[in-house]
Amino acid sequence: MRLFAAVVPPEEVLDEVSGAIAPYVGQVPGLRWPDRITWHITLGFFGEVPERVLPELEVRLARAVRRHSALDLAFDGFGAFSSVRRARVFWAGVTGDSMIRLADSVKAGARRAGAAETDEKRFHPHLTLARAKTETDLRPLVESLSGFSGSPWRAEHVRLVRSYTGAQVRYESLAEWALAPAGQG
């Protein structure tokens, strides 16, 4: 099973992001825009995980999530990986409470359960909005969206998600855990 842990923002804040990028969707050559139903903020990507690991993974992730408080966040600005000039991923940035400790705990729990983290890059909280097969200069796109700042929202849950790849990417939520009430983690 191809698995990852994620925070899924509320619909109303996704509406704001969707509205901001709507004029550009399908207008930038080389960018593929996934369905909004797949939007999430990845905390840890585990890749292919044997089914026998799933019960222990769920226990470890539940424990890791409970140790952290709900996060006050907002979408603010847009950018790209690896750079705006040579982009393969276009994203909306996330500001507010640091998600780094939560992501580190989730990844550590997954490793202890036998689900190795496959993405060793430094964690950078973001919402992936589009991808390119080849490096693409997204400076005009990012500059035209530079004034965007979304409404604040609270992340209260973490999901374990199964990813089905193919012509139509599909996600299935396998489990969800509540973060501690704000200020208690």
List residues with catalytic annotation: 40, 126
Neighbours of 161 (CB within 10 A): 21
Q: Where does residue 105 rank: exposed (0-12), middle (13-18), buried (19+ CB within 10 A)?
A: buried
In DSSP terms, which residues pair with 95 in a beta bridge? 74
Nearest Cα to 133, choosing from 93, 100, 173, 87?
87
Residue that has been written with the tokens 């000039």 in this structure = 85
